Amino acid sequence: MSSPFTWNRQRPSVMPSHRYRDVYERVSVPVTERRWPTNRITRPPLWVPVDLRDGNQALAEPMDPARKRRFFEQLVAMGYKEIEVGYPSASQTDFDFVRLIAESDLAPEDVTIVVFTPARRDLIERTVESVRGIRNDVVIHMYAATAPLWRDVVLGVSRAELTELIVSGGRDILELAGDCPTIRFQFSPEVFILTEPDFVLELCDRMTTLWDASPDRPVTLNLPATVEVATPNVYADQIEYMHRNLSRRDGVILSVHPHNDRGTGIACAELAVLAGAQRVEGCVFGNGERTGNVDLATLALNLHAQGVNPMIDFSDIDAVRRVVEDCTRMPIPERHPYVGDLVYTAFSGTHQDAIKKGFAEHRARAAQLGVPEREIDWQIPYLPIDPADVGRSYEAVIRVNSQSGKGGIAYLLQTEYGLELPRRLQIDFARHVQRHTDTTGAEVSAAVLRDLLTEVYTAADDRIRLVSHPIRAIADGRIAVEIDGRTIDREFGEREPVSVLVDLLAGCGVRIEVLSLTEQAVDRSEVGASATYLEYRAQGTTRWAIGFGHSPVDSALGAVISAASRSADEIPLLPTG
């Protein structure tokens, strides 16, 4: 009998792998007696999101000032204490955003602002001009590409010439900003991962000497895997070599910036921290050039799953996702670790059985100890963390059979009625469909699905209704609502109709918080020309409502009325007059 591996040796080559060289042939890392394999991560590094600079420059549609501000405020709310806010010498938008921080109270005083610049005097001058007057601590981050291919092909300089270029840039920064005690300095040898270890060590030591790195005014040395080209252990060796050989080590904050070209950016970052890195740059959900920067959310929640507090708040991860998706105009994949729509959902019957048994055992342990379930160790099969830790409910986990049918439900509604339900609404609706089938035991047709959808998500009764037709309301500049037979109206001004209606209802005691609105044109007469799917929060619970109509405004206002109707357990009497 031949070995099952024989084919592996005999199969003709179909991929030109001979064109590539192992990174060890290009960069030999002089590390012996490695310490990183036996180290453990017991506290989080300093997290530095670069979404507003590195992530932004990778977007097909870079963020406008409003989106950039919203993203920044989200980062601050989550607890990030050092944030790279832009590349002020590269665009007026970035320059203006840095000036906004300087001239407003947008940044809390305990947040350090990082700005990015090449090692070129005119661009350094523009960068220093942008941060002048900022009350916060500031880091001026200077970079230059150092790897041989970049030196030879991109820059056309020798090692000595590149050294002089970098040191000259460092002198310019020192001349222009060295006398400001709230400004610190950072140097990134771009493509560190492919740079000769002796050369990059020499460059870093030159910069820490020039900038007089000390514990009182440390210099950040950021060592990026600009293009991920090797297994994570190689990067760990490189970081440990720098960690153990840098001069002025006590005056250095050793930072890493892994990209994800090989799909192992997370591993690179974690091993780098084991090897001595104290700071990690990345994007919240891994946005960035090519396959992205390292994913800070995954890194943080990996620590959380090991009992280490990441010191960043992901307790409402869906709210964070909504901001990131809105600001970047990019969806988060369904299987994205920790935040994807499907990552806490089991479709397999064996997984479902194990999870249900795990929850039963978890409840029993809590009862035996006489403590709340949230206070005992988390040990549930297939669920590395408690979904509630990141603001997810148990519904999608426990009712996995209802989850497994959502694809067919969505298909029938789309093909028969042209309705394309958002993913999270599909999940929510599947629970109601399962409840219906459990009760009736009957096959569910497209018509029954449509009727059930209307029953569950549109207005429960006529207690709240629009008085005027939305199109006429827009023309008149006012909106009128009848509640329990009494009519109230409000002027639009320059505001959006949905916002006006939400505020009007809140004044009557019906409070809903709009989380997302998805409008869809529908070409089926059964439901109207437009459908709006509204995700909202009422009485502390996230819910869905739907509105149908002849126009987007019509269906959007209808969705708000549906939400209000289902949220108004008791509507107070309105004042007369």
Angle, alpha carbons 537-283-427 (nearest 5°) = 35
Mean pLDDT, to the nearest integer, of 352-361? Answer: 79
* Residue 143, CA distances (Å) to 198, 384, 493 in order: 18, 38, 49
DSSP states of 110-160? TPEEEEEEES-HHHHHHHHHHHTT--S-EEEEEEEE-SHHIIIIII---HH
Residue for token pair 């992901």: 314
Is the per-residue pLDDT at 572 higher than 70?
Answer: no
Q: Is pLDDT at 532 greater than 70 in this prediction?
A: yes
DSSP readout, 360-388?
HHHHHHHHHHTS-GGGS---BTTBSS-GG
Instruction: Report DSSP letters for 63-116, one per residue.
Output: PPHHHHHHHHHHHHHHT-SEEEEE-TTT-HHHHHHHHHHHHSS-S-TTPEEEEE
Q: Round the average pLDDT of the chain to a whole number and report it.
A: 89
pLDDT, position 172: 98
Band (pLDDT 50/70/90 cuts) for residue 399 is very low
Side chain identity, residue 486: R
pLDDT at res. 403: 37
Tokens for 8?
Answer: 């592996």
Stretch 272-284: mean pLDDT:
98
- What's the pLDDT at 168? 98
Interval 411-459: pLDDT, tens: 678 878 889 999 889 889 988 888 887 777 666 777 888 999 999 999 8
Judge contact between 561 and 503, C-beta under 8 A. Answer: no
pLDDT at position 23 is 76
SS3 content of the chain, % helix, strand, coil (to 5): 45, 20, 35
How much is the average pLDDT of 374-403?
76
Per-residue confidence at 573, pLDDT binned at 50, 70, 90? very low
pTM beyond 0.95, yes or no: no
Count Cβ atoms within 10 A of the Cβ of residue 377 and give its class: 0-12 exposed, 13-18 middle, 19 or more buried.
exposed
pLDDT of 574 above 70: no
| % pLDDT > 70, the chain | 89
